[in-house]
Amino acid sequence: MKVAIGIPAYKAQNTIEECLSSINIQSMRDDINVIISNDNPGVDDYSYLKKMFPKLHITLAETDKNGGPGIARNKAIEVAKDDYIMFMDADDILYSPYAVEQLYKGVTAAPNIVQSQGIFLQTAKVNGETRLIPQQNPNHPWSFGRLTNLSFLKNNKIDFGLLPNMEDGRFQWCINLVIEGTQLKRNFIKDAVYVWKEGSEHSITRSGTDINGGIPVYNYSMCQIGASIAAKQAVEFALSKNPFNGSIQKFLLEQMIGHYFTYYECKEKCPKFAEQNWWLSKWFYHNCYEKYCQNLNDELIDRFYMQMLSAKGRELQKFPDLTFSQWFEKIKTEEFVFEELAEIRSRLPQEILDVERKSGSLTAEARDDALRIFDVDK
């Protein structure tokens, strides 16, 4: 087949039929191999979908045990024998009948293009109504609305790793860093191709909300933990391919500035996790930034900060009590104690931890394992 679509499936019976319906009407349907990766083996059964969608070519695969969407997507990469691969969440849909065709034309427009990307639409509640908000940032970390050359992934051994959170960030950052400075390219097409139902009733990855309502706990806890480790792993992966990769320092600086904005956004919107995010910022600096990002002058740092401020600053309702330079100096000089994470989490209210454990497409056991990854990635 020309295109594989990998779909991680965890308790997805309520949503996957609509997802497959959007694939069933694709203009390239006969050239699509739908790989359903069952991430709840022995419990969920999706074999009935073959009868429900007889015109779709459906391949059923299973993970060894529940490990999150990244493990399930890795299984799709493993079993796929197609030319290109894209990924969908089981609670999302393709925007139009021509979505796959538009991405396919984009990725085959030139021989050195390894990935095409379209605009994805995010569902959001606005004045009580569900609206579709276009997300046009070509450097977003998610796997939505992207079609990638499968041989490129397999030849470079790029996958989603073992992370249960922000695994798609790791995947995309590895791609971006590996092709930087080469003749290989990504192609951004200005067409809407994908609908991310983040705000829908059956949303999987954002189901956990703060006990005060409204703000997903996932955003400021497990997502930030996953993002910190994902960025470190992507950098080390890229350096293993090219020790002289000139894009690493820029990427790390962007990540460090991102920690600054996330910390203050967390203080405003989900302050119970502010202390944990401060620890994560120190962990990222001492375990990644300090190792691989040296001799950057203040002018370059200020320029990147101002670029990110124009976008991220709009999300803050209050001015931070520290400038980035002041915050960065504290992160660098304040003592870092690895064992503090356990102490910080022991002070979190039990009701917050209960909500955190319920959010996302992971069992409680797998969610606890997410924290233990720091033990092997110090």
As for how many domains the chain has, the answer is 2
Give how far Cα 7 sits from Cα of 64, 71, 74, 110, 211, Å.
16, 11, 11, 27, 31
The answer to whether residue 294 scores a pLDDT higher than 80 is: no
Closest CA relative to residue 103, chosen from 186, 159, 16: 186
The answer to whether residue 172 scores a pLDDT higher than 90 is: yes
The answer to whether residue 337 scores a pLDDT higher than 60 is: yes
As a whole number of Å, the CA-based R_g of the chain is 21
Query: Are residue 26 and residue 161 in the same domain, yes or no?
Result: yes
Query: Are residue 279 and residue 227 in the same domain, yes or no?
Result: yes
Mean pLDDT for the stretch of residues 157-183:
91
Q: Look at residue 5 in the predicted model and tell me its pLDDT.
A: 98
Q: Look at residue 215 in the predicted model and tell me its pLDDT.
A: 56
Token pair for residue 114? 């390894």
* Contact between residue 39 and residue 63 where contact means Cβ atoms under 8 Å apart: yes
Mean pLDDT for the stretch of residues 196-205:
59
Q: Look at residue 376 in the predicted model and tell me its pLDDT.
A: 45
Query: Are residue 190 and residue 228 in the same domain, yes or no?
Result: no
Residue that is last in its domain, among 196, 230, 250: 196
Query: Are residue 34 and residue 102 in the same domain, yes or no?
Result: yes
Q: Look at residue 66 in the predicted model and tell me its pLDDT.
A: 85
Residue 327 lies in a domain: yes
Q: Look at residue 311 in the predicted model and tell me its pLDDT.
A: 62
Query: Are residue 249 and residue 156 in the same domain, yes or no?
Result: no
Please report which confidence band the pLDDT of residue 365 belongs to, taking 50, 70 and 90 as the band edges: low
Query: Are residue 144 and residue 226 in the same domain, yes or no?
Result: no
Query: Are residue 133 and residue 262 in the same domain, yes or no?
Result: no
- The residue written with tokens 């849909």 in the block is 93
Residue 246 lies in a domain: yes
Residue 178 lies in a domain: yes
**Segment 204-229, tens digit of pLDDT:** 455 555 444 555 677 777 788 888 98
Q: Which residue has the higher pLDDT, 46 or 217?
A: 46
Q: Look at residue 189 in the predicted model and tell me its pLDDT.
A: 93
- The residue written with tokens 């820029």 in the block is 250
Q: Which residue has the higher pLDDT, 163 or 46?
A: 46
The answer to whether residue 152 scores a pLDDT higher than 90 is: yes
Owning domain of residue 71: 3-196
Residues with Cβ within 8 Å of residue 183, at least 6 apart in sequence: 112
Q: Which residue has the higher pLDDT, 357 or 335?
A: 335
Q: Look at residue 164 in the predicted model and tell me its pLDDT.
A: 75
Query: Are residue 22 and residue 151 in the same domain, yes or no?
Result: yes
Query: Are residue 140 and residue 255 in the same domain, yes or no?
Result: no
Residue 371 lies in a domain: no
The answer to whether residue 378 scores a pLDDT higher than 50 is: no
For the beta carbon of residue 179, count every other beta carbon within 10 angstroms: 19
The answer to whether residue 370 scores a pLDDT higher than 70 is: no
Residue 120 lies in a domain: yes
The answer to whether residue 49 scores a pLDDT higher than 60 is: yes
Query: Are residue 93 and residue 230 in the same domain, yes or no?
Result: no
pLDDT over 90 for what percent of the chain?
Answer: 53
Query: Are residue 346 and residue 237 in the same domain, yes or no?
Result: yes
Residue 82 lies in a domain: yes
Residue 233 lies in a domain: yes
The answer to whether residue 285 scores a pLDDT higher than 50 is: yes
Mean pLDDT score across all residues of the chain:
85
Distance CA 141, CA 28 (A): 26
Residue 95 lies in a domain: yes
Query: Are residue 108 and residue 221 in the same domain, yes or no?
Result: no
**Segment 77-128, tens digit of pLDDT:** 999 999 999 999 999 999 999 999 999 999 999 999 999 999 999 887 777 7
Distance CA 310, CA 296 (A): 21
Q: Look at residue 323 in the predicted model and tell me its pLDDT.
A: 86
The answer to whether residue 338 scores a pLDDT higher than 80 is: yes
* Contact between residue 53 and residue 47 where contact means Cβ atoms under 8 Å apart: no
The answer to whether residue 3 scores a pLDDT higher than 50 is: yes
Distance CA 84, CA 287 (A): 35
Most confident of 239-243, 310-314, 374-378: 239-243
Please report which confidence band the pLDDT of residue 174 belongs to, taking 50, 70 and 90 as the band edges: very high
Instruction: Give me the CATH number covering residue 95.
Output: 3.90.550.10
The answer to whether residue 304 scores a pLDDT higher than 80 is: no
Q: Look at residue 361 in the predicted model and tell me its pLDDT.
A: 46
